[in-house]
Chains A and B, each alone.
Chain A
């Protein structure tokens, strides 16, 4: 069963196609744009952000570098012992007043030297000095680390409770006396001043700026709770963000970078720019929303999308309008084709169009219309002729059937004989025949034959054979003479060179003597009254109708009362099963042997039934003919003695 396909209009098909095409084009366009322009956007964003960041870095570095230079100069003066105590005080005050970057100055000595350690700073525009009490300061990072390393050191921000009482970041330089470090010179920068430089820096809408110290501590950030409480690694740890941790390590190594933060992160969907300061190796970092980095690109893509949408809608409208106009003549053609299909071959095909393809279709339809008209006429004529032939064949079939004895009328042609015949042609008419008749009062003649081939020629040959036998049987005493005459006749008159296999026998009704000739035919079976089956397979000549000069012999036997003679054609033995196995004589003999008290009708029908059960109808193509007669008893009148042949 075939399902009818769903049909859609031209417009629908074209619009669908255009839609798919445009989606593909748009997708490729987005991908290409993102790939090509995305890199440019990132590069631009990086340039913009790095330019701003570098400006701030420079600003902070300048402040810190100035502080560092001041520290180094002052340390040289101290170490060279070039200043008196009064000059020292004036110098420190001058440094504090002239350099706002320096919030306080501390000169601290190793506690075991017994020297006063002091902190200097300006308060209310006057110079204040405080002496460091105790010795715990030696364990503070600003003192301890440069003491142990012998190098200058920038501390993390810390709260100076002894001095200015605010968050500061300290730059410490070891003070030497000879080779020995005797203390530390410390210049402090107020953390707030550094934050002031960084925090106003806003990049677009979402950008934020923050500072990280050289151990990852967040020194400045818009979120106060993070400052000095969290390191960049704490944030990474809290969000289990390995990318941020790796980025933090790169920051501390002094690298510069601009990376997109992926996955679950404190900086999710942000780009992170970072660059180190030259003075104290802190890191300035800027985080900006990814959407802002790609804002221009996204706008471009949106414009692309809207343009494409408008183009698509316009194409849809144009396609719909055009296909509507174009499909008009097609609809007219379809209507005309429908009319033609319903048998109206005279319906006019009038399509006015300037489209070549549709005009061609119209011309083709007109041509088809006239061809169909002509074809139908021819068909009608041929059909009439064929019907006539068929009728004639059917008539021939009827004649053929009438030529063979009717089982109803001639079941007992004579009291001594009981006969039953079956003839089933493979087509309407066949080439098989059987016949039986009385030659004279005492002789019963029977014949079964198979003409090679089928159809009219075989049927005509069969008609010739039966007519010929009936016409000469009365003048020729035995089967050999009848066969010889028949052979001669067939050789002379058989134009199609069909040959005929045949068994012809003559039974003397008085004593049951049966003489028969088998000319190339299948065996003859005798079923004795005692259920014994005798096969007479010997042929007495070749088939008839081929060679004019042939010797035809015969075979004689005496039938006992109740003996049955079983005759058939090769349609029985050569019937084929679905496995392409012939029915053969053995199966036939089995059927015959199993019959219990048979009569000719039951024997013939049993054989036919056996063949039909066995054979495959698709492979069962030959004519089937069976003739069975039973010799009931010898003629009881004693008027004449038996004939001699």
Chain B
């Protein structure tokens, strides 16, 4: 079908019968190997979801189950590249990357021990770290907030105070604390509408503003035909609420029992990120491959945008790569505490117990 159109085809066409035969055979063979590997490899806590990706199988390695806080995308490229380039294996880890997203929330999987290490926003991690189940930050990936509030610019929505009385879509499960703090700090009476990730609510005028990430939904809004000048946007980082986001977390219990493993994971992940940022095209190939394997809609130009923006966030403080600075920690904790999103303050070193190696 696609071969006769004369158009460049971005995906692989399987319509030519000999090629299709080979691809099906190869896929079946890979599936068989995959099943064998699944039965041979026993992750730390037993059951492995169907969506778990297994890249390696070496009995001598320490198994680690990692779950990102969202579906596979360039936001977690450092982890993929660390696995792809063997950085985890080099440090004695057998990492399994699990699927994230609203159907597989990262924090919950950490609590129910279906994952060992996850990524979380700092605000989410702080608010969910309780004395009974304290969390530990192994590495702080993003050094700048990427959260934005965007709406369609109009005479009735052109400045912050116009948000009064407006419907604001905030993610229903996670990542909403910084926006809530912003509304409270600015004393805005906003009608909060819990939403999923879809930007269609905004595009169809079901809500007036919504939470977006600079590297993800903001680009989707642009790619739905809205020009930047047609968008009313608030970058929380620029509005004085720069709560850093993506970090690598585990439970204190797991950290204390597997300190070396945790540190090795953090170090290898940072190496993976450095590799990813230096090799964007190769990284995008890997990301797209993973997304297609997981039947996630894969758009290379969107992933390229995401990787590019992640680079900005990660290198926002180039000399603090991977570090959760006390300044960022205190700023986030004080804001959360002030607004009742945190019941008890946590000592910095208890939350971020280990400094990472310095990288150039």
- The answer, yes or no, to whether A12 is at the interface (CB within 8 Å) is no
Is the Cβ of A223 less than 8 Å from the Cβ of B204?
A: no
Least CB distance, A221 to chain B, in whole angstroms = 8
A145 CB–B CB distance under 8 Å: yes
Let me know if A229 and B298 touch, CB within 8 A: yes
The docked-state distance in angstroms from the alpha carbon of A239 to that of B222 is 15
- CB distance A224 to B13 under 8 Å? yes
On whether A223 and B11 interact (CB within 8 A), knowing A141-B201, A248-B225, the answer reads: yes
Q: How far is the CB of B55 from chain A (nearest CB, A)?
A: 24
- Structural contact, B200 and A233, CB atoms closer than 8 A: no
CA distance A225 to B313 in the complex (A): 30
Taking a contact as CB atoms under 8 Å apart, the answer to whether B9 and A237 are in contact is no
- Cα of A289 to Cα of B6 in the assembled complex, Å: 10
Which candidate, B108-116, B191-199, B266-274, is the interface stretch facing chain A?
B191-199
- Quick one: closest A residue to B195, CB to CB? A139
Which of A148-156, A302-310, A609-617, A628-636 faces chain B? A148-156
A245-304 residues at the B interface, CB under 8 angstroms = 245, 248-249, 252, 266, 289
**Contact between A223 and B205 (Cβ–Cβ < 8 Å)?**
no
Whether the pair A223, B5 counts as a contact (CB closer than 8 A) is yes
Chain B positions 1-34 with a Cβ under 8 Å from a chain A Cβ: 1-2, 4-13
Instruction: Tell me if B133 counts as interface (CB < 8 A to partner A).
Output: no
Closest chain B CB from A220 CB (angstroms): 11
Does B176 belong to the interface (CB within 8 Å)?
Answer: no
Interface residues of A in 200-217 (CB under 8 A from B): 206, 208, 215-216
Q: Are B6 and A233 in contact (CB-based, < 8 A)?
A: no
Find chain A residues with CB under 8 A from B194 CB: 139
B160 close to A (CB within 8 Å): no
**What is the minimal beta-carbon distance from B151 to any residue of chain A, in angstroms?**
14
Q: Which of A122-154 contact B (CB under 8 A)?
A: 136, 139-141, 144-145, 148-149, 153
Contact with A along B192-217 (1 / 0, CB 8 A): 01111011110111110000000000
Query: Does B172 have its Cβ within 8 Å of any Cβ on chain A?
Result: yes
Q: In the complex, are the beta carbons of A222 and B1 less than 8 A apart?
A: yes
A375 within 8 A of B: no
Instruction: Give the residues in chain A near B8, CB-CB below 8 Å.
Output: 223, 266
B224 within 8 A of A: yes
Q: Assess whether A216 is in contact with B223, with CB atoms less than 8 Å apart.
A: yes
If the complex has contacts A148-B193, A223-B2, are A233 and B9 also in contact, measured as CB distance less than 8 A? no
Q: Contacts of A139 on B, CB cut-off 8 Å?
A: 172, 194-196
Determine the distance from Cα of A144 to Cα of B299 in the docked complex, in whole angstroms. Answer: 25
A208 touches B5 (CB 8 A): yes
Q: Looking at the complex, which one of B9, B201, B223, B300 makes contact with A148 (CB distance below 8 Å)?
A: B201
Q: Which chain B positions have C-beta within 8 A of A224?
A: 1-2, 9, 11, 13
Are the CB atoms of A230 and B224 closer together than 8 Å? no
Instruction: Check if A228 is an interface residue, CB within 8 A of chain B.
Output: yes
Set of chain A residues within 8 Å of B11, measured between Cβ atoms? 223-226
Bound-state Cα–Cα, A545 to B13, Å: 126
**Shortest beta-carbon distance from A276 to chain B in Å:** 14
A156 to B5, CA, bound (A): 25
Q: Which of A206, A231, A232 has the most CB of B within 10 A?
A: A231
How far is A341 from B198 in the complex, measured between Cα atoms in Å? Answer: 101
Query: Size range of the interface on A?
Result: 35 or more
Return the chain B residue nearest A231 by Cβ. Answer: B223
Q: Is residue A88 contacting chain B, with contact meaning CB distance below 8 A?
A: no
Q: How far is the CA of A248 from the CA of B225 in the complex (A)?
A: 7
Residue in B5, B13, B302 whose Cβ sees the most chain A Cβ within 10 Å: B5
Report yes or no: A223 in contact with B225, Cβ–Cβ below 8 A: no
A229/B297 in contact, CB under 8 A: yes
Q: How far is the CB of B96 from chain A (nearest CB, A)?
A: 24
Docked complex Cα distance between A232 and B223 (Å): 8
Given that A148-B193, A215-B203, A224-B2 are known contacts, is A231 also in contact with B224, CB under 8 Å in the complex? yes
In the assembled complex, A428 has its CB within 8 A of some CB on chain B: no
- CB within 8 Å for A238 and B7 given contacts A149-B204, A223-B2: no
Cβ–Cβ contact A225 & B10, under 8 A:
yes
Closest chain-A Cβ to B72's Cβ sits at a distance in Å of 14
* A223 in contact with B9 (CB, 8 Å): yes
Task: With A139-B194, A223-B5, A229-B298 as known contacts, state yes or no: A145 contacts B223, CB within 8 Å.
Answer: no
Tell me whether B47 is interfacial, beta carbon within 8 Å.
Answer: no
Which one of B7, B172, B198, B299 lies within 8 Å of A223 (CB-CB)? B7
Cα–Cα, bound, A225→B11 (Å)? 4
Q: Is the CB of A215 within 8 A of B224?
A: yes
In the complex, the answer to whether A216 meets B224 with C-beta atoms within 8 Å is yes
Q: Does B167 contact A (CB under 8 A)?
A: yes
User: Assuming the A-B contacts A229-B298, A230-B299, are A237 and B2 also in contact, with contact meaning beta carbons closer than 8 angstroms in the complex?
Assistant: no
Q: How far is the CA of A289 from the CA of B198 in the complex (A)?
A: 36
Question: Quick check: B225 and A252 within 8 Å, CB to CB?
Answer: yes
Closest chain A residue to B205, Cβ basis: A149
In the assembly, what is the distance between CA of A8 and CA of B123, in Å? 91
Residues of chain B lying within 8 A (CB to CB) of residue A546: none
Q: Cβ of B301 < 8 Å from any Cβ of A?
A: yes
Name the distance in Å between A15's Cβ and chain B's nearest Cβ: 44
CB < 8 Å neighbour of B301 from A144, A155, A216, A234: A234
Q: Which residues of A contact B297 (CB under 8 A)?
A: 228-229
Most buried by A among B6, B193, B300: B6
A591 at interface, CB cutoff 8 A: no
B167's nearest neighbour on chain A, judged by CB, is: A148
A:316-349 near B, CB below 8 Å: none
Once the chains bind, are A144 and B201 in contact (CB under 8 Å)? yes
Which of the listed residues B8, B203, B206 has the most CB atoms from chain A within 10 Å of its own CB? B206
**B residues 142-199 in Cβ contact with A at 8 Å:** 167, 172, 193-196, 198-199
Is A199 engaged at the interface, CB distance under 8 Å to the other chain?
yes
Q: Which of A149, A216, A230 contacts B225 (CB 8 A)?
A: A216
The proximity string for B residues 224-260 relative to A, scoring 1 for CB distances below 8 Å and 0 otherwise, is 1100000000000000000000000000000000000
The B-contacting residues of A in range 149-165, CB under 8 angstroms, are 149, 153, 155-156
Write out the residue numbers on chain B whose beta carbons fall within 8 Å of the beta carbon of A233: 222-225
The answer to whether B225 and A222 have CB atoms under 8 Å apart is no
Decide if B225 touches A215 in the complex (CB within 8 Å). yes
Tell me the bound Cα distance from A237 to B102 in angstroms.
Answer: 29
Q: Which of B2, B167, B193, B198 contacts A222 (CB 8 A)?
A: B2
Contact check, A234 vs B1: say whether CB atoms are below 8 A apart: no
For residue B301, which residue of chain A has the nearest CB? A238
Contact A234 B167 (CB under 8 A): no
Whether B195 contacts A144 by the Cβ 8 Å rule is yes
Chain A CB within 10 Å, residue with most, of B1, B12, B172, B223:
B223
Chain A residues with Cβ below 8 Å from B225 are: 215-216, 231-233, 245, 248-249, 252
Residues of A within 8 A of B300 (CB): 238
Q: Which residues of B contact A225 (CB under 8 A)?
A: 9-12
Contacts A/B (CB < 8 Å), 21 sampled: A139-B172, A139-B194, A139-B195, A141-B198, A144-B195, A148-B167, A149-B204, A156-B200, A215-B200, A215-B203, A215-B225, A222-B5, A224-B1, A226-B10, A228-B297, A229-B298, A230-B10, A233-B225, A248-B225, A249-B225, A289-B6
The 3 A-B residue pairs whose C-beta atoms are closest, nearest first, are A225-B11, A148-B206, A225-B10
New contact pairs (8) apart from A149-B206, A208-B6, CB-CB < 8 Å: A145-B200, A148-B201, A149-B204, A156-B200, A199-B1, A215-B225, A231-B223, A233-B224
